[in-house]
Amino acid sequence: MQKFVLVIVAALMSAIAGAAATAQAPYPNKPVHLLVGFPPGTAADITARLSSQRLSQAFGQQFIVENRPGASSTIAAEMVVRAPKDGYTLLIGSVANTINASLLKNLSYSFEKDIAPVALISTAPNILVVHPSLPVHSVQELIGYAKPRPGEIFYASSGNGTSPHLSGELFNMMAGIKLAHVPYKGSSEAVADLLSGRVTVTFSPVSTVLPHIKAGKLRALGTSGSSRTAAMPDLPTIAESGLPGYETSLWFGMFAPADTPRDIVDRLAGAVKTALAGEMGDQLKAQGMDPAFRTPAEFTSLVHAETAKWSKVVAAAGIKID
């Protein structure tokens, strides 16, 4: 009997030791999933795939990209909110998530409270472009031309509530004009109608419109970022061109469920910073994006600022999404 008890005790101690060893194993000790709320080939997806390559190399463990498109990234975000807080399910989120916070009234989570910013990765400004038939060659000329023509000039976007849509509404609000919004099901459809002249203005990611600008089929007036983009260094910002304070950019960053252990968040952030300083930074630039690392604290401040900013724009423009 005593021998049997000793065997049981030894087995229990071995199990406890094994569990403790597993608990103390360095992160990550199994594949990590990067969820993206947009389809393959989008800027968010490109950011995720470049990140997965570099993080897999840095940690010696697979970082697997999973595209979960739908509802402007809310499906992917909710999956991360509901995931275990262990760093194995992460989100490549974007400015769309901060817009959704005020645009979508029935969200089951708070993006500011339930998801923890890890690191900003990349930014990509929208380019304000017009069809050559529109007789304007600068931001100031567009504003001057539009003021006496409220609702007569149509601007395209990739859909209601998207960054290009809100970029246009912010432009309307700050310039005191009324460009009429025409939503499409995606950027390709919007640009196609812009090229045909059915609409004459859009705010679009640089990678989408750059070939058409170079071919002379579209005219660029300004970039929406806080500084000029490396893809078009001679193009001034909209703020430089007569609308001081105007700024809006697509941005992409890594998020984890709230209350993920701080050491895991910091390790991920450090790996992203190192990757952006190397080849990944050049790869992003080649895709029309700018590497833009921010620490978890800095990225958290950005998320709060963007949420407040777009809430004002949504309210002022009276935008509603069912």
What letter does residue 60 receive in the DSSP assignment? Answer: T
The single-letter code of the amino acid at 28 is P
Between the alpha carbon of residue 83 and those of residues 91, 166, 253, the distances in Å are 11, 30, 18
Superfamily of domain 32-124+249-317: Bordetella uptake gene, domain 1 (3.40.190.150)
- Mention the CATH class of domain 125-223: alpha beta
Note the pLDDT of residue 10: 47
Cis peptide before 28 (omega within 30 of 0): yes
The backbone region for 21, taken as left when phi is positive above 0, alpha when psi lies in -120 to 50, beta otherwise, is alpha
Specify the pLDDT at position 2: 53
Same fold, 32-124+249-317 and 125-223: yes
What's the pLDDT score for residue 186?
80
- Among 77, 32, 41, 59, which residue's Cα sits nearest to residue 255? 77
Measure Cα distances from 61 to 32, 52, 54, 92 in Å.
8, 10, 10, 18
Q: What is the 3-state secondary structure (H, E, C) of 177-245?
A: CCCEEEECCCHHHHHHHHHHCCCCEEEEEHHHHHHHHHCCCCEEEEECCCCCCCCCCCCCECCCCCCCC
Q: What is the pLDDT of residue 229?
A: 87
In the chain, domain spans: 32-124+249-317, 125-223
What is the reported pLDDT for 22?
43
pLDDT block averages, 10 residues each, the chain of length 322: 47 47 73 94 91 97 95 93 97 95 91 97 94 97 98 94 92 97 89 96 90 96 91 94 93 97 98 97 89 97 96 89 67
Q: What is the chain's percent helix, strand, coil content, to nearest 5? A: 45, 20, 35
What is d(CA 245, CA 169) in angstroms, rounded to the nearest whole number? Answer: 14
Residue 71 is classified by DSSP as: G
